[in-house]
Amino acid sequence: QVQLVESGGGSVQAGGSLTLSCAPSEYTDSAYSMAWFRQAPGKERVGVAGLYTDGSGTYYADSVKGRFTMSQNNAKNTLYLKMNNLKPEDTAMYYCAAAFGTEAVDYGLATPQSYTYWGQGTQVTVSS
């Protein structure tokens, strides 16, 4: 069972930056798609950014476009999320997700049901 491990969360002031990382706990074949989701207390988990690992497509939520940048290291099956100009509304638990099947083609990169494997989450807190 593949496990994803996120790191890089923390507490910052508004306008600050953080970079999240997500890597599998052991060697795996390359995932077909990977994504970042976030969930604030009392709210649903929503897609922040996602990509097909072959480079054929990406997704960013409107709320993070121009501020967040996702990248990958295919050799290590590692996903990154560089977050700039953070706002208090970005405060949430951030989760990494991966899929080895093609579910994202049908359901979309930003849909939780597109992904089979999830990390435990890393907390991001932005103070005003």
Asked if residue 19 has pLDDT above 90, the reply is yes
Model pLDDT for residues 64-114, shown as the tens digit of each residue: 999 999 999 877 789 999 999 999 999 999 999 999 999 998 999 999 999
Q: Are 96 and 112 in contact (CB under 8 A)?
A: no
What length is written for the chain?
Answer: 128
Picking from 64, 63, 87, the residue whose alpha carbon sits closest to that of residue 12 is 87
Q: So what's the pLDDT on residue 29?
A: 83
Residue type present at position 82: K
Confidence of residue 2 (pLDDT cuts 50, 70, 90): confident
For the record, the structure tokens of 103 come out as 């579910």
Angle at 10 between CA 6 and CA 15, to 5 degrees: 120
